[in-house]
Amino acid sequence: MALEKKIPGEGEIRHLGVPYKVRSASAEEYWSCLQRFVSFDEPGDRVARLYELSAKQIKYPAVNSRIFEELPRTVQESIFRLAFGATSENTTVANKLLNAVLALQDIERYSPVSFEAWYCQWWRNEDGKEIESNNAWLKDLAIESAQMHWLYSLDQMQLDFTRINSDGPWLGDTRAAFFVACLEEFENRFEQFNAKTIVEAQACFREVYAAWRNKLPGTFLPQLLLIVEGPTEALLIPYLTRNLGIDLDSSAVLVAPVGGAKQAARRYLDLRDLVDIPIVVILDNDAAEESQLVMDMLRPCDRLHVLSSGEIEDVFEKAVVIELLNRYLQPYKDTAPITLSDLDGQERRTVILNRLWRVRGLGDFDKVGFAKSIVDGGLKLEQIPLEIKVIANLLKGAISA
């Protein structure tokens, strides 16, 4: 295999006599790749998506994702590097250290099982002993074999973080500014790339991360995963808990709406053996089977909360809901207001609201739109339901643990 950087914006790699011409990523393509590179996805899934992006950068011959997966891993990594990475002649120590430290961050967040699954999928029958013996810095880190190969692969792919020092769609994004701050610290402190400086760079990274944490989104290097059933909870819970003094973004909480109770239970069961960060699951009151399934499988660090009644809309006091609903209806000038008696009945609140909305000729009640109106219009502290305070305390405990 021969790897050659030929002209600015284009490179070539030969495999079995076939020249693969690779186009360097545009600023938009690069930024999309960087976001995928640091996304909260299991190692195997993340690499698969990164390689999908790599296949799109091949100008010749025509290659789709399936063909790309059949190429040797070393060829895949080289194509990625030509498209999105730093070439061997312009790789900086700081950039190599940042790639290695992010790989170590993955090792902190994902279980050994997830790296074993990635290793079996992407290394296939390739022998990794030569890599272990010829890269002393990997052995000196004293990590498990599959994790060692994860560090090696990310070092070979070598995403070029120095590119965000120039103009691009990342301007104004705090994640890009955070990476620039990391590179600057690494450049000032480290001159060599070895196991010792990787460990020191990891400590430096944590210092910068702590200083920047309250500016970063919860999706970035999360320390806790909150699984909720849908977008309504994903809007309301972060907003309401923030009013109670718990900012899920600055606390590095990733809120994941999954589309229902069954999907929430399935997602938890999928992740519990793959991630090493705590998981909190919140389910509606009618998800008895799913809540029992999750409860039976909870790890000591995980938490489950089942709403005491119905869905998230049902936890608000009736008088508060009336006020919020009528505020939501204000744009509809000729629409009759909602009264206390309108909400009487044993049905779930969303069922009642659907009926009230149809009677008024407004179609089905828009739960997400209502949630957005609460966030946009604001809420008084005394209007926050008691159950939300319970959830906030649960999250606070899980975060501090």
pLDDT of residue 2: 42
Check: CB of residue 302 under 8 Å from CB of residue 279: yes
Measured from the Cβ of residue 203, the count of other Cβ atoms closer than 10 Å reads 9
Q: Beta strands of 126-192 (E only): which ranges?
A: none
The model's pTM is 0.89
Instruction: Say if residue 117's pLDDT is above 50.
Output: yes
Residue 72 pLDDT more than 70? yes
207 has pLDDT over 70 = yes
What is the end-to-end Cα distance of the chain in Å, rounded?
A: 49
Q: What beta strand segments (E) does 40-188 contain?
A: 58-60
Q: For residue 340, is pLDDT > 80? A: yes
pLDDT tens track for 19-67: 999 999 999 999 999 999 999 999 999 999 999 999 999 999 988 888 8
Rounded CA-CA distance 258/267 in Å is: 8
Q: What is the mean pLDDT of residues 196-208?
A: 97
Q: How confident is the model at residue 132 (pLDDT cuts 50, 70, 90)?
A: low
In contact, 82 and 3? CB cutoff 8 Å: yes
- The pLDDT confidence band at residue 401, using thresholds 50, 70 and 90, is confident
pLDDT in tens, 240-298: 999 999 999 999 999 999 999 999 999 999 999 999 999 999 999 988 899 999 999 99
Beta strands 2-7 and 18-23 are unpaired
* pLDDT value of position 88: 65
Per-residue pLDDT band at 130 (split at 50, 70, 90): low
What mean pLDDT is predicted for residues 336-340?
Answer: 92
What is residue 338's DSSP assignment? P
Tell whether the model's pLDDT for residue 167 goes beyond 70: yes
Q: In angstroms, rounded to a whole number, what is the distance separating the alpha carbons of residues 282 and 225?
A: 11
